[in-house]
Structure 1
């Protein structure tokens, strides 16, 4: 399971088996700078029943190995929720110049955003700004989005216009502001086009930085106060998105998250891998992991 930088809680919510619940074993992947804060300092976390939880700290992006053990039930299915406790953002230095402009430079600090996305066959996932939803390594269709902008200034907003494909036909989903979900869940109707625009009296102080991957196409990179994202024909599913908002003064100096283009592979259901869910070895057990932000009180699959 991929883990971004920060502090998290992994909660054991429920098990659908009868009798005793299966045991969940969690440990950092080899070479990963992710650690479990445990009472015995062993670095390995064991959750024996629903209601238990583990604290996870990542000094930099890494991963965890999550496995499910035998319990008193023939069914070994478990439902976990991965919840961010803190979000880390790098400080942005104020540009040098006349001190009269210093207040404006401070006000236009790097916003802290999170993106909730509904991903086909995986459910709702939440990532931080600048992190990939699906993407080149894990291409899965994105069916809906919600931008969570906790420290959004009162005079700036983000508007999203979306189009999705229903049985091969393009249909507009209209527009939505930051904090409002746009798209569908469980309808097999992937997003095929997005238009994102910063609006408001002080929108010029910020810039969008986006990377998008549509099935069978190269990664697109767009930046500015408004960006339009779509595949070559407008019907290709969106299978990866990386979005951040930065101060306009820093936008020209920001390095793109990726330095080369990727070609999206065709989807192969048997080989799907996604940071939002963990599949265990063997056919008897299954662990379902959902990511949850501090704002989103509940995440539904």
Structure 2
């Protein structure tokens, strides 16, 4: 490797006073990626400080996803040099230099220092106080991991966004109650439709694989049931109740873009209609003589099904 070859891959970067993050993003040859050397230009050594990892003894980034920090006291020149790992090896590498800004102290008056969210902020982004009971964590595209408490939307009708994974948790879960859940994808994936216990993440992160179905199951005390709502892309909001709930779009391939889960007590069945006393013979005879006979039926009772059923509701 001669000096001329090294200089061909050298970049000169002008930096102002500040703090900078130098990251080795990618390389064409992952089997033998080139190394990236960072150094001050001659004469600028006193203006630049290189902050290395405690285990590193030189400013060299050996592979993608490695990084270091550059501190610049005054405008200076930084040299970034890419060297092949072996003779004739690849010298194609992507290196990014980004400023790190500390921000500035706020100058807002007391009347404008509000902690409430603005109207533009989705409610699902507020995770400071989820309260007791069932908790729902979801990995949402563009937001990352978001956690809410019972009966609160993640994404949803007013702020739909692709949900790629979920986790349920319940620190103070009632004794004897067991909850399991599963996610489904449009195409076969590892973990597809596999039921997992509380505290287990089901789905993916950062792979752009939206969930297309949710399964919720519980066992234990019979006086509890799920009340779940889901929004799938280009479909009405679904609502399902029961001890086993299955939610999916019309075709089973629509991405999940909103989810709300609650656990509630099962509504007791109303008392049976009391039996009317037997009519006297005279009254029966009188009634039978007429041409029109009226039969009084019991009021219809709605009995919750053992398996959750979903129906469309417009948000």
- TM-score, length-normalised on structure 1? 0.50
Per-residue deviation at 1:65?
7.3
How far off its partner does 1:84 sit? 2.2
Q: Secondary structure at the match of 1:227?
A: strand
**Is residue 2:128 matched to residue 1:84?**
yes
Matches within 5 A, 1:107-256: 112-165=133-186, 169-171=187-189, 172-200=192-220, 202=221, 204-249=222-267
Greater RCO structure (CA 8 Å; 6+ sep): 1
Change in CA separation of 1:25 and 1:238 when aligned onto 2, cut-off 3 Å:
farther
Counterpart residue number, 2:117: 63
Residue 210 to residue 42, structure 1, CA distance change in 2 (3 Å): same
Q: Which structure features the higher share of strand residues? A: 1
Could you tell me how far apart the structure 2 residues matched to 1:25 and 1:209 are? 43
Aligned 8 A contact 2:130 2:149 in 1: no
Give 1:224 deviation, angstroms.
1.2
Displacement of 1:119 in angstroms is 0.5
TM-score (norm 2): 0.48
1:263-282 maps to which residues of 2 (within 5 A)? none
Distance 1:136 1:66 in 2: 14
Counterpart-to-counterpart distance in 2, 1:23 and 1:157 = 49
**How far does the alpha carbon of each residue in 1:242-290 deviate from its partner, in whole angstroms, 9 at most, with x for none?**
11111223899xxxxxx9504xxxxxxxxxxxxxxxxxxxxxxxxxxxx
Give 3-state SS (helix, strand or coil) of 2:172's partner.
coil
Conservation of the 8 A alpha-carbon contact between 1:212 and 1:221: yes
Deviation at 1:85, TM superposition (A): 4.6
Would the alpha carbon gap of residues 141 and 43 (structure 1) be closer, same or farther in structure 2, given more than 3 Å must change? same
| Structure 1 unmatched runs, 5+ | 1-14, 28-39, 46-55, 57-61, 68-80, 90-111, 253-258, 263-301
Q: How many residues align?
A: 174
In 2, Cα distance between the equivalents of 1:86 and 1:229?
A: 24
Where do residues 257-296 of structure 1 align in structure 2 (5 Å cutoff)? Answer: 261-262=314-315
1:44 maps to 2:113: yes
Larger radius of gyration: 2
1:213 Cα deviation after fit? 0.7
Asked if the contact 1:25–1:44 (Cα under 8 Å) also holds between the matched residues in 2, the reply is no
Distance 1:228 1:124 in 2: 23
**1:120-174 Cα shifts (integer Å, max 9, x gaps):** 1221011111111111111111011011212102310111021113xxx244241
Matched, 1:21 2:102: yes
